[in-house]
């Protein structure tokens, strides 16, 4: 490609990005990419000055403002800043200044240092101390009149305080949205089904660009001032940092990290210190700004077309970069959550190489409309996990395919279920799914489930990793020979473990149901199901309506139960446990009715039970044969009263019915061999 064509090509790209960024507030590429293109164009033009034209993006800044707001011509152009990307760039900046001022290396320049806030540059005009106009920077020459909107921002004074200010004073600064405010409005927008903002800068721009100032007022915007424009009348200090202090006295917020340093070494040191702080700051910055502090020196240095020679922005490494999505895969987590993940062409961003980014759930995939082959903007700020911020649609290749959620688990092929109102899809494979197996086995063996002594989490992980254990039924086939070969497992411990596993075969139906790890079926629900159905088979065949009759079971739990028993894998595991391994329990009905201690008794629960839920308490009573009634009468045998018990307790006392508090009730349950969850 000829040089001329390369230049034209770069200009076209930059003009396009400019329009997206300045006019539409919808940046198409990360700033770092824009900067790179800009630097490339600058270098080509520097080496081939015959091709420089007036309309090159290097010769003007920004793009045309939108016409929705009235336009304002800045009396003094609003400058932009040159960029430095390295210590060498900073050395060169300093050298140029010394040369122009005819100073030598021994004379160090005083620099005012400020963080470079990533927001929107604005100009505020005060006449006789009263705010009369606010404008955006626009293209530096012409901006938009946003007076009504800036008046809504609390950190902008409507009237100056103190005295001695110029009777016409233009204050310039950055309007930005703090990180916390950004997260809050995005959360709200997403909950209302609205589009989220890409980043805080974008959110600030979008909020300022509202024709209705009420909307701007509702957005968490702040402003810091960093320079002045017009100043007529009044005495201004002779140093930049001192003028800022004067502004502070008149009511403007300054960035608290403002400092004055000496020489380029002082600048580089400031850069390092602020880099360290970057992630902890409550607002986003993309670098630091150095300004020659003495106004006399600033005047001598003057300007080049777009920027002052006396200031520079030393940019931080980018936190946003572009890369390509190779594929989108689905990962199965420990709870069976099926999560879409973008596999990326590795990209260096925010100080690390990123090759994967979670897409969280299908809602997020749909929101981003991300597809394999897409070019995406990746953001990694601080220690936050890398995020896909947006798809660069204009770079989408032909024939991309919309991502469909998997119907089957990518690990075990079981059905993936996504309940209404839930963002997360889950593998219903439960015990069968390899990805969930370790957790399921830990649960199966735990104290309130099958209670296998000596089978701890580490051991389960080892057995699964060594491919010695696939399902809970496999536990019952482990031999002492196999087990004693394991690390740190002597023949005695192996013996003990095999015995404990064997002992667990004689169990109770509620424990067994709980051990299966059906979603939302905790110990109390398992017990309620066991009491209601009496045996496993009728429960496995139960319809939704039948399940809904059970105390504690609502539509969601019912769906989980039905889904679980619908999976043939789960049925196979259950059959292996019962028919092959010999897991068994006493049939509930076979317990002679008169053996139950509370058979024929009526109990009432009242007040707040702090150590167990009402439903757990009720289940324990039902298990012991009692009827649990809602009101106290002469037929009541006992009242369990927690704090806040009212009329039921007084009625019981009146009728001379025995009562107990929660402590007493727990002691009673313990005597019956029932331990709390």
- Looking at the Cβ atoms of 117 and 513, the one nearer to ligand 9MJ is 117
Q: Which stretch binds ligand 9MJ (CB under 6 A): 94-102, 112-120, 526-534, 589-597?
A: 112-120
* 116, 315, 380, 511: residue in contact with ligand 9MJ (rule CB under 6 A): 116
Instruction: Give how far the C-alpha of residue 279 lies from the chain's centroid of Cα atoms, to the nearest Å.
Output: 15
Contact status: 114 vs ligand 9MJ (CB under 6 A): yes
Minimum Å gap between C-beta 176 and ligand 9MJ is: 8
Minimum Å gap between C-beta 94 and ligand 9MJ is: 18
Q: In DSSP terms, which residues pair with 112 in a beta bridge?
A: 260, 291
The 338-377 site mask, x for binding ligand 9MJ (CB under 6 A), equals ----------------------------------------
Contact status: 662 vs ligand 9MJ (CB under 6 A): no
CB 324 within 8 A of CB 373: yes
Give the integer Cα–Cα distance in Å for 308 and 303. 4
Give the integer Cα–Cα distance in Å for 85 and 90. 8
CA distances, 413 to each of 71, 327, 517 (Å):
61, 20, 19
Minimum Å gap between C-beta 19 and ligand 9MJ is: 21
- Helix, strand, or coil (residue 340): strand
Provide the phi-psi class of 413: left if phi over 0, else alpha when psi is between -120 and 50, else beta: left
- Helix, strand, or coil (residue 304): coil
Contact status: 201 vs ligand 9MJ (CB under 6 A): no
Q: In DSSP terms, which residues pair with 606 in a beta bridge?
A: 641
Give the integer Cα–Cα distance in Å for 442 and 475. 12
Minimum Å gap between C-beta 197 and ligand 9MJ is: 19
CB 216 within 8 A of CB 120: no
- Helix, strand, or coil (residue 83): strand
Footprint on residues 552-581 left by ligand 9MJ (CB under 6 A)? none
Q: Which stretch binds ligand 9MJ (CB under 6 A): 60-68, 94-102, 114-122, 403-411?
A: 114-122
CB 609 within 8 A of CB 662: yes
Minimum Å gap between C-beta 290 and ligand 9MJ is: 10
Minimum Å gap between C-beta 283 and ligand 9MJ is: 10
Tell me how many residues contact ligand 9MJ (CB under 6 A): 10
Q: Which stretch binds ligand 9MJ (CB under 6 A): 109-117, 434-442, 542-550, 668-676?
A: 109-117
Q: Which stretch binds ligand 9MJ (CB under 6 A): 110-118, 327-335, 642-650, 652-660?
A: 110-118
Q: Which stretch binds ligand 9MJ (CB under 6 A): 8-16, 111-119, 325-333, 558-566?
A: 111-119
Give the integer Cα–Cα distance in Å for 271 and 274. 5
- Helix, strand, or coil (residue 245): helix
Contact status: 226 vs ligand 9MJ (CB under 6 A): yes
- Looking at the Cβ atoms of 90 and 641, the one nearer to ligand 9MJ is 90
Provide the phi-psi class of 266: left if phi over 0, else alpha when psi is between -120 and 50, else beta: alpha
Pairing of strands 259-262, 222-232: unpaired
- Looking at the Cβ atoms of 226 and 533, the one nearer to ligand 9MJ is 226
Give the integer Cα–Cα distance in Å for 156 and 122. 11
Contact status: 289 vs ligand 9MJ (CB under 6 A): yes
Contact status: 81 vs ligand 9MJ (CB under 6 A): yes
* 311, 338, 425, 657: residue in contact with ligand 9MJ (rule CB under 6 A): 311
CB 309 within 8 A of CB 302: yes
Minimum Å gap between C-beta 288 and ligand 9MJ is: 8
Minimum Å gap between C-beta 14 and ligand 9MJ is: 20
Contact status: 321 vs ligand 9MJ (CB under 6 A): no
Find, among 478, 433, 442, the residue nearest to 460 by Cα: 442
Scan for tokens 């572009």, then name that residue: 322
* 79, 153, 391, 666: residue in contact with ligand 9MJ (rule CB under 6 A): 79
Label residues 147-168 b or e (16+ Cβ within 10 Å = b): bbbbebbeebbeebeeeebbeb
CB 166 within 8 A of CB 138: no
- Looking at the Cβ atoms of 114 and 552, the one nearer to ligand 9MJ is 114
Q: Residue 439, Cβ neighbours under 10 Å: how many?
A: 18
- Residues 6 or more apart whose CB falls under 8 angstroms from that of 273 comprise none
Minimum Å gap between C-beta 287 and ligand 9MJ is: 9
The helix (run of H) or strand (run of E) holding residue 667 is: helix 662-671
Label residues 303-317 b or e (16+ Cβ within 10 Å = b): eeebbbbbbbbbbbe
Give the integer Cα–Cα distance in Å for 539 and 514. 13
User: What sections of 278-394 are H helices per DSSP?
Assistant: 295-301, 362-368
- Looking at the Cβ atoms of 197 and 283, the one nearer to ligand 9MJ is 283
Find, among 415, 373, 421, the residue nearest to 393 by Cα: 373
- Helix, strand, or coil (residue 7): helix
CB 536 within 8 A of CB 396: no
Please say whether the dihedral angle defined by the alpha carbons of residues 275, 278, 283 and 286, taken in this order, is positive or negative.
positive
Minimum Å gap between C-beta 378 and ligand 9MJ is: 24
Contact status: 31 vs ligand 9MJ (CB under 6 A): no
Minimum Å gap between C-beta 58 and ligand 9MJ is: 17
- Looking at the Cβ atoms of 81 and 640, the one nearer to ligand 9MJ is 81
Contact status: 174 vs ligand 9MJ (CB under 6 A): yes
- Looking at the Cβ atoms of 294 and 551, the one nearer to ligand 9MJ is 294
- Looking at the Cβ atoms of 80 and 335, the one nearer to ligand 9MJ is 80
- Looking at the Cβ atoms of 282 and 656, the one nearer to ligand 9MJ is 282
User: What sections of 227-372 are H helices per DSSP?
Assistant: 240-249, 263-277, 295-301, 362-368
Active site residues: 116
Give the integer Cα–Cα distance in Å for 268 and 270. 5
- Looking at the Cβ atoms of 110 and 369, the one nearer to ligand 9MJ is 110
Residue 45 DSSP label: H
- Looking at the Cβ atoms of 123 and 636, the one nearer to ligand 9MJ is 123
* 202, 207, 227, 471: residue in contact with ligand 9MJ (rule CB under 6 A): 227
Q: Which stretch binds ligand 9MJ (CB under 6 A): 113-121, 207-215, 294-302, 504-512?
A: 113-121
Footprint on residues 424-483 left by ligand 9MJ (CB under 6 A)? none
Minimum Å gap between C-beta 182 and ligand 9MJ is: 17
* 117, 185, 376, 640: residue in contact with ligand 9MJ (rule CB under 6 A): 117
Q: And the tokens for 271?
A: 């850069």
Q: Footprint of ligand 9MJ on this chain (CB under 6 A)?
A: 79, 81, 114, 116-117, 174, 226-227, 289, 311
């Amino acid at each position: 490609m000829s040089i001329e064509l390369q230049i034209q090509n770069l200009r076209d790209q930059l003009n396009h990005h400019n329009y997206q960024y300045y006019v539409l507030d919808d940046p198409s590429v990360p700033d770092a990419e824009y900067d790179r293109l800009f630097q490339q164009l600058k270098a080509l033009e520097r080496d081939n000055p015959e091709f420089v034209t007036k309309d090159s993006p290097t010769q003007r800044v920004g793009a045309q403002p939108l016409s929705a707001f009235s336009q304002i011509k800045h009396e003094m152009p609003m400058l932009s800043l040159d960029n430095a990307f390295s210590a060498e760039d900073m050395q060169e900046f300093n050298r140029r200044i010394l040369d122009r001022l005819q100073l030598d290396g021994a004379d160090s320049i005083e620099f005012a240092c400020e963080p470079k806030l990533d927001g929107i540059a604005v100009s505020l005009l005060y006449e006789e101390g009263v705010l009369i106009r606010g404008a955006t920077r626009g293209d530096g020459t012409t901006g938009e009149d946003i007076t009504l909107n800036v008046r809504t921002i609390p950190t902008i004074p409507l009237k100056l305080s103190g005295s001695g200010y110029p009777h016409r004073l233009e204050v310039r600064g950055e309007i930005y949205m703090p990180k916390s405010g950004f997260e809050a409005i995005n959360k709200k927008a997403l909950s209302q089904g609205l589009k989220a903002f890409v980043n805080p800068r974008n959110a600030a721009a979008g909020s300022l660009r509202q024709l209705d100032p009420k909307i701007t007022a509702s957005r968490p915007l702040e402003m810091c001032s960093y320079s002045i424009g017009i100043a007529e009348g009044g005495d201004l200090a002779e140093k930049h940092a001192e003028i800022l202090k004067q502004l502070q006295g008149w009511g403007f917020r300054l960035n608290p990290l403002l400092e004055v340093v000496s020489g380029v070494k002082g600048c580089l040191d400031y850069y390092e210190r602020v880099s360290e702080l970057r992630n902890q700051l409550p607002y986003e910055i993309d670098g630091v700004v150095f300004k020659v502090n003495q106004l006399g020196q600033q005047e001598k240095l003057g300007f080049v077309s777009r920027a002052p020679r006396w200031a520079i922005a030393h940019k931080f490494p980018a936190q946003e970069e572009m890369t390509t999505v190779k594929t989108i895969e689905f990962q199965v987590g420990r709870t069976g959550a099926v999560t879409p993940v973008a596999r990326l062409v590795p990209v260096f961003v925010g100080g690390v190489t990123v090759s994967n980014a979670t897409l969280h759930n299908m809602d997020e995939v749909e929101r981003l409309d991300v597809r394999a082959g897409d070019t995406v903007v990746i953001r990694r700020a601080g220690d936050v996990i890398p995020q896909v911020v947006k798809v660069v649609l204009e770079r989408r290749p032909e024939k991309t395919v919309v991502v469909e959620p998997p119907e089957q688990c990518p690990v075990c092929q079981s059905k993936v279920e996504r309940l209404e109102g839930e963002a997360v899809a889950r593998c219903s494979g439960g015990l069968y799914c390899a990805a969930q197996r370790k957790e399921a086995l830990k649960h199966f063996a735990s104290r309130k489930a099958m209670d296998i002594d000596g089978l701890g989490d580490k051991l389960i992980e080892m057995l699964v990793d060594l491919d010695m254990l696939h399902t809970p039924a496999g536990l019952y086939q482990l031999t002492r020979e196999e087990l004693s070969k394991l690390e740190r497992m002597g023949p005695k411990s192996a013996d003990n473990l095999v015995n404990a596993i064997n002992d667990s075969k004689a169990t109770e139906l509620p424990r067994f149901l709980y051990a299966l790890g059906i979603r939302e079926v905790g110990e109390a629900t398992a017990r309620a199901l066991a009491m209601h159905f009496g045996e496993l088979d009728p429960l496995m065949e139960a319809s939704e309506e039948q399940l809904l009759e059970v105390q504690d079971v609502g539509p969601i739990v019912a769906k989980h139960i039905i889904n679980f028993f619908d999976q043939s894998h789960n049925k196979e595991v259950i059959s292996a446990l019962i028919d092959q391994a010999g897991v068994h329990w006493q049939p509930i009905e076979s317990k002679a009715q008169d053996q139950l201690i509370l058979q024929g008794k009526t109990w009432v629960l009242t007040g707040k039970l702090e150590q167990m839920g009402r439903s757990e308490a009720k289940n324990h009573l039902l298990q012991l044969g009692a009827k649990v009634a809602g009101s106290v009468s002469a037929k009541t045998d006992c009242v369990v009263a927690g704090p806040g018990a009212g009329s039921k307790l007084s009625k019981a006392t009146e009728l001379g019915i025995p009562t107990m508090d929660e402590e007493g009730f727990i002691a009673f349950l313990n005597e019956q061999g029932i331990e709390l969850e």
